[in-house]
Structure 1
Amino acid sequence: MYADENLVKIKHDVMYEVAKLAFEGRLEEERDHIPMKLIPGPLPQFRCCIYKEREIIRQRIRLVEGKSVGSVDDGNIVQVISSACEDCPISSYVVTDNCQNCAGKACINACKFDAISKGRDRSYIDPLKCKECGKCSKVCPYNAIAGLKRPCKNTCPVNAITYDEYGVSKIDPKKCIQCGRCIHSCPFGAIATKTFVVDVVEALKSDRPVYAMLAPATEGQFGTDITMESWKVAAKKTGFTDLIEVGLGGDMTAASEAEEWVEAYKEGKKKTTSCCPAFVNMIRKHYPELEAYISTTVSPMCGVSRMIKAKNPNAVTVFVGPCTAKKSEVKDQNIEGNADYVLTYSEFRAIMKAKDVALEPTENTYQESSVFGKLFANAGGVTGAVLQCMKETEQEIDAKVCKANGAAECKKALLLLKAGKLPEDFIEGMVCDGGCVGGPSSYEEELIAKKARGRLIAEADKREIHENLGNYDMKAFSMHRE
C-alpha cells in the first residue's frame, strides 16, 4: 500500500476529534475549529500551505459525518477529496528526456486535439487539452512519451475512475463496486469513504441496545495477544451492549447456501455466492444479466443482525471489519434486518479512543462459531464451509467450485458464466485478494497477519457447523432475501 504514516495519522486524528465531540454533544459548535486544531500553522505539514491542508481536513470531517464532499451527493460511499487530488500530476502522458525534438514531429501530427506543441528542447503536452488517447506515445520513434497511469485508476478493477477537465479524479457511481482498492493506493490520501461514526456514537448515547458484530477476518489482524475476547471487552467498555463474532453468521450462511447448492445441482443450475458485497455489486452493475445466479442467502453480517433483532427488535447492530463494500450493502442493497451501520477497524478504534478505551491482551476464550465459520474470511473458506455442511447432512454432491480469488479472477469467472462456458457448477467470488483478510481497511498486511491468524484459529474447539447452530433458534428468522 502507498498510504504513509502521515496520511493515516491525519485520517485517524479527524475521526477521533469528530467522535469525541459527538460524544460530548459539542460537534455542531466545535466542528469548524477542528481544522485549526489539527493544522495550527504557521508552517504546512504535508501540502503547499496550511489553507489547503485545512480545507482537506474540512472535507474529511464531512466524510466522517457521513456526508458527501461535493455540493451534490451522488450516493457513492467512496469519495474523492478534490482539494487533495489536485496535487496529483494531471496529465497521464508526459514527454521524457528521450525526446530528440526531431524534425518529423510525428507526435504533433498524430494528435487530433492540438495538445502537443514544439518546445525549445522537447515537445510539450498541454494537460488541459490532452484526451489521453495515447496516439502520440505510439508513433514516437524514440519512445520518449510515457503513459503514466495514476495509482487510483490503475488499481480500480472495473474502470470506474476517470478525470475531469482539471485532472481531478472522478468515480462513476454506476460502475464503482465500492471495493475500496483505490483508497490506499492514492499517495495523496485523496480517496476515502463516508463513515457511520457519528451515527454509531448517537446510537451509543441513546437508550437503545447497541450490538457490535465482529468480522471473521479480525483474528490475527492485531497479533496473537488481541483476541475476540479482547474486542468483546473493549466494545462493552465503549458502551456497546455486547459483541458477537460474525463467524457465527458464516455458519448460518454456509448451511443455507448448502441447501441452495444441492437443489441447484440437481436441477442443473449454476450459482454464485452472495457474502462478498463487492462481488454482488460487480454482478449487478457490470453483468446484470447474471443477477439471477446470485444466491438468495444473505451475508453472515445480515444473518447475525437478524438473529439479534429477532430477540430484540429495538436493537441497533453495527458490523466491524476490514471491508468498505459492507457499507454499500447496508446503504444500497436495502436488505430487511441487515446491520444498521458498518465501521472499519480504524473507525471503531476512533470511537473507542474517544471513550479512553484501548484493545488489551486477553485469553482466547470467546468462541461463537465453528472453525469453518472463522475461515469464511479466507479465499476458499466459503466453499470449504458449504461442502462441510453437505457432509454433515449427508447431502454430498460432486460439486465443482470456481474459487475466484481477487477481482481479476471474479471477472474471468463471470465472463465464462455469461458466455455459457463456465466448467464449474458454482462460483465463490471474493473481490479482495486472499478474501476478506485482504480487505482495504485491514490493519495488518495479509502475509504478516496470516501466521497470527493461524495460531488463534488453531486454538478454537472443533465443533461442527450444525452442532454449533443447534445452540441458536434458527427458526426465529430467515437466512434469505425477502
Structure 2
Amino acid sequence: MQIMNFSEANCRHCYKCVRTCKVKAIKIIDDQAHIIPEKCIACGQCFASCPQNARNIHSDLDLVYNALKNGEKIVVSIAPSFRGFFKDSPKLITALKEIGFHKVEETAIGADVVTELYKKEINTFGKKNYITTCCPSVVSLIEKYFPTVIDNLMPFVSPMIAHGKILKEENPGALTAFLGPCIAKKYEALSKDNPESIDAVLTFDEVLLLLEKESIDYNTLSDSISDKGGSQFGTKYPLVGGILENISNEIEDAGLNYIRVDGIDECKEIFQEISKGNIQNCCIEASACKKSCIGGPAGSTISDSTYTRLQNIKNFLKTEKSYTPPTDEILEFDFAKASVSKHIDEIMPTQEQITEILRSLGKNEKADELNCAGCGYETCRENAISIFQGMSHLDMCIHFVRRKAERVSNEIFENSPNAILFLDKNLGVLESNAAFSRYFGIAPAEIKEIGIGDLLDIPKLQNVMFTKQNILWEKIYFPKYSLHMGISIIYMENQDALMVILKDVTEEVERKEELKVLKENTLKITQSVIEKQMRVAQEIASLLGETTAETKVALNKVKDVFREEGGDL
C-alpha cells in the first residue's frame, strides 16, 4: 500500500523534493512529482521540504476518531520523543485521556524489551557487525539499496512493534494506536511483516488535529502520568546515541567498536563501507533523521527546534526512576524479524547512452557539466541516468530550458519582419537584426561602428533611457530610404538598455495617400455633377417660365375673342 504521494493540484514542479530525496524515489511525470513505492524508504524528508504543501499522506485519523465515537477500546503507545516535542508532556497525556483513549502507555516499554534482546544477541554471538533496527527507514534503506548488509541487521522488531505485541496480549480485543513524529511508522505498521501489532498510526501533527477537532487545548489542562511508562533507558531511544548507551557494557565486553550515524547520507556512507568489508566488529546505531527521532518530519506544526526538544527530554530524564527490566514472560514473546532483500535491479545505460543524453542536454564537453543540482540530481551524469530510466526528463535541466528559450528568442529576433535594435545605456548599438540591414542597407558590424545618430532622434532615446517611460508607437519618416515606419522604444530594466522596434508602414501610408487622392477626385467629380445638374435645372426652369407666359398671353387673347363675339362663355 502506498502511504504517501504528492497532490497534483499543489505540486509546482520546483524539484525540491527530488533534491531532498536521498534515494531518488521520485519520478516526474508531466511536471508532477510522483513517489515510486518500490524505491521509497518513507523517511518523509521530501514532504518536510515541500514548499507548496503538496503532501498527501495516508491517515488513520478518521479510523481513530470514529472508533472513539463508537466507544471502542483504544490503547495508545506514544513514542518517547513526545517528551521532547511537547514541553508540557504530562498535560498531553491528560488530553489523550479526555479524548477517550482507554490507556496511554509509552513506547519506551518496547524500547526496554529491544534493549534486552540486543544485549542477548551481542552476548551470544560476540564479534561481528550489528545494526540497530529501531528506524524503519534504515531497515528499508538496507533491504532496498544495500542487500549485502542485511545480515548485519539485528534480527528483532522495532520498539513500536514490540510494544504493540505486548498491548495486544494485555488488552484482548482492543485497538492499538501508535503516536509519534515518524511517517515511516505508518509503512511499518501496515507491512505484512508486522501483522496485528499496531492498528493505527497517528503522527504528532495528526494528534494536534484530533485535539483541535475535539476543541481541547492541552496547555490548559492539569498534569497526568501515563498508565505505564518505560525506563529512563527506553526514554533515551529517540536521542542520538540513546540506544548504544543502553548496551554499552555488552559492546565493551564483546570487544566491539560502536558508531552513531544520523541522517540518510551518513547511513548510506557507512553501509557502503560495511559492504566493502572496511568496517568489522562494530555496533552501529543508525537513524534516517538528523538528530534521530527528535528530528522526525511529522511534528512540523510544533515549531521548537531539535535542540529545544533535546533539552526537554534531558530535563525529564533528571527525574530519578528505577529500572525494572521486562519479565521473562514478556521476553518469550515472538519479537524476531527476518529482513529480506527488496532490491530492484535497475537497467543502467551504457557510457555511450549517457554521452548521447548529455549531448541532447547541450553538454558536449566536460566543462558543460555544471552539476548545479537544479534538476534535483547531484550531477549532470546522474540526471542523464535518471532520464534514461524514465525518472526525469530533459526539461528538468535549467540550462537546457534556458538555451532552448534563447534559441527561440534568437529565431524570433533574426526572422522578425520588423527592424530591431538593442542599444546600451550610452546608445551604442549592441545588436541589430537582418531586417534592419535589409531596410537601411547597413551591415550589423557597420551600424555598431557608425552608430544611429543619423537615423534616430537621439534626444527622444535619451529621454526614454532617463525617464524609463516607454514609447509604444510613433510614426517616423526616413526620406533617404523613402520609408514610413512605426517606432517603439522600450526600456529593459534588467539590462539597463533600450530595445528599438521599427515596423515598415510605407505601403499603408502610400495606400492612405492613394485613397486620399481618390477621395479628392471623387469629391471633385461629384461637385461637378452637382453644379451641372443645377445649371440644367435652372435652364429648364427658365424655359418653363417663358412657355407659361406665352401660353397665358395666348389664352387671354382667346378669351377676349369669345367675349367680343357673343357675350358669356
1:406 paired with 2:263, answer yes
Identify which of structures 1 and 2 has the higher relative contact order when contacts are C-alpha pairs closer than 8 Å and 6+ apart. 1
TM-superposition CA deviations, 1:195-254 (whole Å, max 9, x none): 11111123223454201111111112122xx12x32322111111101001112111111
Identify the residue that residue 204 of structure 2 maps to in structure 1.
345
Question: 3-state DSSP class of the match of 2:202?
Answer: strand
| Distance (Å, rounded) in 2 between the aligned partners of 1:160 and 1:255 | 35
1:317 paired with 2:173, answer no
| Distance (Å, rounded) in 2 between the aligned partners of 1:302 and 1:217 | 16
Quick check: 2:128–2:280 contact (8 Å CA) kept in 1?
A: no
Give 1:387 deviation, angstroms.
2.5
Number of equivalences: 333
Quick check: 2:5–2:56 contact (8 Å CA) kept in 1?
A: yes
Quick check: 2:76–2:176 contact (8 Å CA) kept in 1?
A: yes
| Distance (Å, rounded) in 2 between the aligned partners of 1:297 and 1:317 | 20
1:292 paired with 2:132, answer no
For residues 21-420 of structure 1, the aligned pairs below 5 Å read 75-85=1-11, 87-89=12-14, 150-164=15-29, 166-223=30-87, 226-227=88-89, 229-265=90-126, 268-360=127-219, 362-363=222-223, 365-366=225-226, 368-387=229-248, 390=250, 396-420=253-277
| Structure with more helix by fraction | 2
Structure number with greater Rg is 2
| Distance (Å, rounded) in 2 between the aligned partners of 1:407 and 1:157 | 7
Quick check: 2:128–2:281 contact (8 Å CA) kept in 1?
A: no
Quick check: 1:208–1:314 contact (8 Å CA) kept in 2?
A: no
Identify the residue that residue 330 of structure 2 maps to in structure 1.
474
Question: 1:206/1:288 Cα in 2 relative to 1: closer, same or farther (>3 Å)?
Answer: farther
| Distance (Å, rounded) in 1 between the aligned partners of 2:139 and 2:104 | 27
- AA partner of residue 453 (structure 1): I
| Runs of 5+ unmatched residues, structure 1 | 1-74, 90-149
| Runs of 5+ unmatched residues, structure 2 | 339-569
| Distance (Å, rounded) in 1 between the aligned partners of 2:124 and 2:114 | 16
- AA partner of residue 245 (structure 2): G
- AA partner of residue 311 (structure 2): K
1:428 paired with 2:293, answer no
Question: 3-state DSSP class of the match of 1:351?
Answer: helix
- AA partner of residue 235 (structure 1): L
Identify the residue that residue 318 of structure 2 maps to in structure 1.
458
| Distance (Å, rounded) in 2 between the aligned partners of 1:375 and 1:254 | 11
Quick check: 1:345–1:441 contact (8 Å CA) kept in 2?
A: yes
Question: 3-state DSSP class of the match of 1:347?
Answer: helix
Question: 1:230/1:477 Cα in 2 relative to 1: closer, same or farther (>3 Å)?
Answer: farther
| Distance (Å, rounded) in 1 between the aligned partners of 2:69 and 2:97 | 13
Question: 1:155/1:251 Cα in 2 relative to 1: closer, same or farther (>3 Å)?
Answer: same
Question: 3-state DSSP class of the match of 1:413?
Answer: helix
- AA partner of residue 80 (structure 2): P
Quick check: 2:80–2:234 contact (8 Å CA) kept in 1?
A: yes
Quick check: 2:112–2:230 contact (8 Å CA) kept in 1?
A: yes
Identify the residue that residue 445 of structure 1 maps to in structure 2.
305
Quick check: 1:258–1:386 contact (8 Å CA) kept in 2?
A: yes
TM-superposition CA deviations, 1:308-327 (whole Å, max 9, x none): 11122311111101000000
TM-score by length of 1: 0.65
Give 1:362 deviation, angstroms.
4.1
Quick check: 1:272–1:294 contact (8 Å CA) kept in 2?
A: yes
Quick check: 1:402–1:424 contact (8 Å CA) kept in 2?
A: no
Quick check: 2:94–2:224 contact (8 Å CA) kept in 1?
A: no
TM-score by length of 2: 0.55
Question: 3-state DSSP class of the match of 2:84?
Answer: coil
Quick check: 1:402–1:426 contact (8 Å CA) kept in 2?
A: yes
CA root-mean-square deviation = 2.2
| Distance (Å, rounded) in 2 between the aligned partners of 1:330 and 1:202 | 19
Quick check: 2:122–2:254 contact (8 Å CA) kept in 1?
A: no
Quick check: 2:186–2:201 contact (8 Å CA) kept in 1?
A: yes
Give 1:364 deviation, angstroms.
7.2
- AA partner of residue 374 (structure 1): T
